[in-house]
Amino acid sequence: MTRSVSVCIPAYNAARTVAETLGSVLAQDLDLEVVVLDNASGDGTGDIVRSFADPRITVHRNESVLPIGDNWNRLVSLSTGELVKIVCADDLVAPGAVAAQAEILADSSVAIVSSRFDVIGEDGAVLEKDLGLPGLDGRVGPRELMRVIVRRGPAEFGPTAAAMFRRADFDRVGGIRGDLVFPMDVDLFARVATSGCFHGMRERTAAWRSSSFNLCATSSSLSKLTEMLRFHHRLRSDHPRYVTWGDVAAGDARLVGAGLERVRVRAGSLLARRVERV
């Protein structure tokens, strides 16, 4: 049965959190398709998903672990809905979020919708509230969206669980470009937004889990900074109408500042340890 909305859940060794994620998705007050792709997990993730006796869920499994970009592209390709929301297997979706965003996307001039979000810990406790979308309330064009993404960074934008877009636009732009892992979601959002406008919701519709086991936590600061520098310049090259050299300079300066602060903190920590040994 084809449904208008597909919630796509990429899952890799997510046994600790996938049941809670699925529970938040299945509680939505809208008929939807839930597609879970188990990326060759070794911890029983797929068994947990299959334990949900819900006809809305379809579970697929890769024979071997795919790179994250390839995995997400395969996941979306397995969906059938006109609208797509990607929810990582440790994040949560707020009640009513899917229906509210589907209603906004009923306007064909809106290419992508996203919202503010909360940050939760490994135990599900709320650590921070009402983050994301600085200066992006309501409808804005792709120029303003890309400006914020480059100048403020993907962490200021929000997780994929807070967004929804059209499958046709995902296919049109070629899906996820996984060569730059850390910014790959906002890279997708920026390219999808060129089909129309972006709509930023003031409501909080998702929660991003800050944990020791997700990709963000296991990626080095250097790799994140390097990828973001490359991302800024590629977005400028791909979309010179929307991204100026001033945007790139501001974004690069922010990254350099963050890198220097990281070096300062690390140097201070090393010095403190040496003093303790004296």
**What does pTM read for this prediction?**
0.89
CA 39 → CA 1, 33, 34, 192, distances in Å? 24, 19, 16, 25
**Tell me, what's the pLDDT at 60?**
97
Report which residue type is found at 148.
V
Report which residue type is found at 71.
N
Q: Is the pLDDT of residue 39 over 80?
A: yes
Cα 108 to chain center, whole Å? Answer: 23
List the structure tokens of 215: 């990709």
Do residues 92 and 86 make contact, with C-beta atoms less than 8 angstroms apart?
no
List the structure tokens of 234: 């590629």
Q: What is the pLDDT of residues 154-213, one digit of tens each?
A: 777 789 999 999 999 999 999 999 999 989 999 999 999 999 999 999 999 999 998 776
Domains of the chain: 5-214 (3.90.550.10)
